[in-house]
Amino acid sequence: MKNNTINKKEIEKFSKIAEEWWNPEGKFKPLHKFNPIRISYIKENIIKSFKLNNKKAPLKNVKILDIGCGGGLLSEPMCRLGAKVTGIDASEKNINVAKLHSKKSKLKINYLCSSPEKLKIKDKFDVILNMEIVEHVENVNFFLKSCSKLLKKNGIMFVATLNKTLKSYIFAIVGAEYILRWLPIGTHEWEKFIKPEELSSILRNNDLVVERIDGMKFNLVTSKWNVSKDKSVNYIAKFIKN
């Protein structure tokens, strides 16, 4: 279906484990480990692009849309940094978990059960976060086109996803799901992974120019993620809207 990016199978998969979102030792443990590097990367790049200099609230009044926000693992830190955050997810269970947690945390975040093509907004966003979501949607081209429409001119879109390589199949699926059991089996489908040049090409057709692409690498010794030159498995990209 051309005008819908929701993959029901993917939504059901994540809805089943929705209550696990905020358990750092639960099914989303890899995401909890991934979060610090994502937060610092996004924060530093927004500050640099928009020339911000507020020490107390570094992202004060920056309008951010977190797509596929899940339980709010990224929406909450962005809100704490001063941003005006809207988080959307196609799973109602995820949105309910996110709403409940932000209320407990006394954070004002606008959570909506929606997909980008169905989102009705008055004002466009300064920043769009597409973190670990493009490999779970139906019709990537239409999804990214819908996202681009929600972004202001000179706005930033961050995309973090998995490269389509033999190495990513071995590490992200065989290693992470079957051997190390970091993720539930079936979390990823290699066919849905996307090469950086393919992603850049789709976004170029939707008025977004790539500014930088960085690899993300997990260090088994320190148990931490780092920004790396190696983009063969995980990578994060920053695009600017023309």
Residue 88 above 60 pLDDT? yes
Mean pLDDT for the stretch of residues 60-66: 98
Mean pLDDT for the stretch of residues 72-77: 98
| pLDDT at 67 (0 to 100) | 98
Residue 152 CA to residue 50 CA, distance in Å, equals 13
Closest C-alpha among 152, 154, 90 to residue 122: 152
Residue 1 above 70 pLDDT? no
| pLDDT at 182 (0 to 100) | 79
Q: Which helix (H) or strand (E) holds 68?
A: none
| pLDDT at 2 (0 to 100) | 57
Q: Which CATH number fits domain 8-163+194-241: 3.40.50.1240, 3.30.70.260, 3.40.50.720, 3.40.50.150?
A: 3.40.50.150
Question: pLDDT (tens digit, 9 = 90+) per residue, 193-240?
Answer: 999 999 999 999 999 999 999 999 999 899 899 999 999 999 999 999
Residue 101 CA to residue 22 CA, distance in Å, equals 8
Distance of alpha carbon 59 from the chain centroid: 18
Residue 94 CA to residue 21 CA, distance in Å, equals 8
Residue 120 above 50 pLDDT? yes
Domain boundaries, the chain: 8-163+194-241
Global model pTM greater than 0.85: yes
